Amino acid sequence: MPTDYYSALGVRQDATTEEIKRAYRKLARDLHPDVNPEPDAQARFRDVSRAYEVLSDPQKRQIVDLGGDPYGNGAAGAGFGNFSGLGDIMDAFFGATAGTGRGARTRIRQGADALIRLELELSEAAFGTTEEITVDTAVRCDLCDGAGTARGTHPARCETCHGRGEVQSVQRSFLGQVMTSRLCPTCGGVGSVIPEPCSKCGGDGRVRSRRTVSVKIPAGVEDGMRIRLTGQGEVGPGGGPPGDLYVEIAEQPHDIFTRQGEDLHCRVTLPMTAAALGTSLTLQTLDGEEEVVIVAGTQSGTVQRLRARGVPRLRGTGRGDLHVHVEVTTPTRLDEEQEQLLRQLAAARGEERPSSTKAVGGSLFSRMRDAFNGR
**DSSP character string of 20-89:** HHHHHHHHHHHH-TTT---TTHHHHHHHHHHHHHHHTSHHHHHHHHTT--TTSGGGTTSSGGG-HHHHHH
Same fold, 1-76 and 258-372: no
What pLDDT was estimated at residue 167?
87
263-271/258-260 β-pairing: antiparallel
Map out the domains of the chain as residue ranges.
1-76, 258-372
Query: What's the average model confidence in pLDDT over 301-308?
Result: 95
Asked whether the beta carbons of 235 and 112 are under 8 A apart, the reply is no
CATH code, 1-76: 1.10.287.110
Query: What's the average model confidence in pLDDT over 237-246?
Result: 91
What pLDDT was estimated at residue 105?
79
Answer with the residue of higher pLDDT: 114 or 80.
Answer: 114
What pLDDT was estimated at residue 303?
96
Answer with the residue of higher pLDDT: 80 or 128.
Answer: 128
What pLDDT was estimated at residue 101?
46
Asked whether the beta carbons of 187 and 160 are under 8 A apart, the reply is yes
Q: What is the DSSP string of 202-238?
A: TTSSEEEEEEEEEEEEPTT--TT-EEEETT-SPPBGG
Query: What's the average model confidence in pLDDT over 58-84?
Result: 58
Of the given ranges (86-95, 104-113, 160-169, 278-287), which has the lowest mean pLDDT?
Answer: 86-95
Instruction: Name which of 239, 107, 203, 201 is nearest 163 in CA terms.
Output: 107
Of the given ranges (34-38, 108-112, 278-282, 348-352), which has the lowest mean pLDDT?
Answer: 34-38
Q: Could you read off the pLDDT of 84-110 as tens digits, one per residue?
A: 333 333 343 344 433 344 567 788 888
Domain boundaries 258-372, CATH class: mainly beta
Query: Please, which pLDDT band fits residue 355 given cuts at 50, 70 and 90?
Result: low
Side chain identity at residue 333, one-letter code: R
Of the given ranges (1-10, 48-57, 135-144, 303-312), which has the lowest mean pLDDT?
Answer: 1-10
Side chain identity at residue 152, one-letter code: G
User: Would you say residue 284 has pLDDT above 50?
Assistant: yes
What pLDDT was estimated at residue 48?
87
Which run of H or E residues covers position 94?
A: helix 84-94
Side chain identity at residue 360, one-letter code: V
User: Would you say residue 207 has pLDDT above 70?
Assistant: yes
Longest dimension (CA), the chain: 112
What pLDDT was estimated at residue 145?
92
Answer with the residue of higher pLDDT: 175 or 25.
Answer: 25
Among 82-91, 94-103, 226-235, 347-356, the range of highest mean pLDDT: 226-235
Which run of H or E residues covers position 372?
A: helix 364-372
Whole-angstrom distance, CA of residue 138 vs CA of residue 370: 69
What pLDDT was estimated at residue 177?
67
What pLDDT was estimated at residue 109?
86
User: Would you say residue 370 has pLDDT above 60?
Assistant: no
